[in-house]
């Protein structure tokens, strides 16, 4: 029997990349999936998946969308929060406040809004649910020209712990997945460049980036009964990148 038969799954950032792969993975496991995104998915969603427009940085949009999901699909069991502003932003001393706010508003405040919307409904329905945030290796280590992104993802890491502590008494687990380099429509062109390939050969023990399906598989585990005693922690899915010291 599919592991998530009749469970209601909400995936933000569900139109592409990691989010789309996560939508498909839960659907294949029998879940009733709501794919939330600020834009339409470029390909047709599978039958049984419902798409919703949602801006995770906007409280009204998040609350209204979660209300619609509960009304149209059912009480929410699992939330996987993948929506994010990605990429570098330039040297620290040249950053504008607008640039800083764009990353913080979507990545950190958006994580709070989505997690709170999920948690409040789970608590109200006595649902022993799962909240899974998609972070980054930049949650624990920065790189040049990425201060707002790394700061927002680092903040998400502490948000995960704080929410897990507060929600544990209700049987709700909160965890974070930290992807390393993942080939998506947004990264494919850069990842195919010879210089980038040489970098991966150096920094990744296996030499190759991961796929969105690798992150979706981690989300399936954290949403499963087998992860009942796992909460407030990170699952590093980075191909060993942060495990090695470069010579």
Q: What is the pLDDT of residue 103?
A: 96
Mean pLDDT score, 171-198: 92
Give the dihedral sign, CA 229/230/231/233.
positive
Q: What is the pLDDT of residue 85?
A: 93
Instruction: Check if the beta carbon of residue 232 is closer than 8 Å to that of residue 223.
Output: no
For tokens 């989300």, name the residue: 219
Residue 42 pLDDT class (50, 70, 90 cuts)? low
Looking at the predicted structure, is the pLDDT value of residue 46 above 80?
Answer: no
Q: What is the pLDDT of residue 216?
A: 98
Looking at the predicted structure, is the pLDDT value of residue 2 above 90?
Answer: no
Residue extents of the structural domains in the chain: 8-184+212-240
- Give the Cα separation of 127 and 41 in Å (integer): 29
| pTM reported for the whole predicted model | 0.95
Q: What is the pLDDT of residue 246?
A: 83
Token couple for 202: 């150096």
Looking at the predicted structure, is the pLDDT value of residue 87 above 90?
Answer: no
Q: Which residues in 109-128 are b (16+ Cβ under 10 Å) and which e? A: bbbbbbbbbbbebbeeeebe
Model confidence pLDDT, tens digit, residues 65-80:
999 999 999 999 999 9
- Give the Cα separation of 87 and 110 in Å (integer): 17
Model confidence pLDDT, tens digit, residues 196-219:
899 889 999 999 999 999 999 999
- Give the Cα separation of 23 and 15 in Å (integer): 9
Closest by CA to 33, choosing from 44, 47, 17, 18, is 47
For tokens 């948000």, name the residue: 159
What whole-number percentage of the chain has pLDDT above 90? 84
- Give the Cα separation of 46 and 50 in Å (integer): 9
Q: Give the angle 83-24-240 at the CA atoms, nearest 5°.
A: 65
What is the greatest pairwise CA distance in the chain? 55
What whole-number percentage of the chain has pLDDT above 70? 99
- Give the Cα separation of 201 and 181 in Å (integer): 12
Q: Please, which residues have CB within 8 angstroms of residue 199's CB and are 6 or more apart in sequence?
A: none
Q: What is the DSSP letter of 42?
A: S
Model confidence pLDDT, tens digit, residues 114-154:
999 999 999 999 999 999 999 999 999 998 999 999 999 99
Mean pLDDT score, 216-229: 97
Average per-residue pLDDT in the chain? 94
The pairing of beta strand 49-53 with beta strand 173-179: unpaired
User: For the structural domain made of 8-184+212-240, what CATH number should be given?
Assistant: 3.40.50.720
Q: What is the pLDDT of residue 4?
A: 96
- Give the Cα separation of 112 and 118 in Å (integer): 10
Beta partners for residue 30, in sequence order: none
Looking at the predicted structure, is the pLDDT value of residue 63 above 80?
Answer: yes
Residue 44 pLDDT class (50, 70, 90 cuts)? low
- Give the Cα separation of 33 and 6 in Å (integer): 9
Active site residue 170: no
Residue 39 pLDDT class (50, 70, 90 cuts)? confident
Q: Where is average pLDDT lowest: 7-11, 109-113, 175-179, 198-202? A: 198-202
Model confidence pLDDT, tens digit, residues 9-38:
999 999 999 999 999 999 999 999 999 999
- Give the Cα separation of 116 and 85 in Å (integer): 20
List 52, 103, 149, 170, catalytic entry: 149
- Give the Cα separation of 242 and 247 in Å (integer): 13
């Amino acid at each position: 029997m599919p592991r998530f038969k009749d469970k209601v799954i909400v995936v933000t950032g569900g139109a592409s990349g990691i989010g789309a792969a996560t939508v498909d993975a839960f659907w294949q496991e029998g879940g009733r999936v709501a794919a939330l995104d600020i834009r339409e998915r470029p390909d047709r969603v599978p039958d049984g998946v419902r798409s919703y427009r949602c801006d995770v940085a906007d409280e009204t949009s998040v609350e209204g969308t979660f209300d619609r999901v509960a009304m149209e699909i059912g009480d929410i069991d699992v939330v996987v929060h993948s929506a994010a502003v990605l990429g570098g932003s330039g040297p620290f001393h040249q950053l504008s406040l607008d640039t800083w706010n764009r990353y913080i508003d979507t990545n950190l405040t958006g994580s709070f809004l989505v997690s709170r919307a999920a948690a409040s409904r789970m608590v109200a329905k006595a649902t022993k649910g799962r909240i899974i945030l998609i972070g980054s290796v930049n949650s624990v280590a920065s790189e040049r020209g990425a201060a707002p992104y790394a700061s927002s993802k680092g903040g998400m890491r502490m948000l995960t712990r704080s929410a897990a502590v507060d929600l544990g008494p209700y049987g709700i687990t909160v965890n974070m997945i930290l992807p390393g380099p993942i080939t998506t429509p947004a990264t494919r062109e850069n990842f195919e460049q010879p210089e980038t390939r040489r970098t991966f050969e150096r920094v990744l023990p296996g030499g190759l980036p991961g796929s969105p399906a690798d992150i979706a598989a981690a989300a399936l585990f954290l949403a499963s009964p087998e992860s009942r005693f796992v909460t407030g922690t990170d699952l590093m899915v980075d191909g060993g990148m942060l495990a090695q010291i470069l010579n």
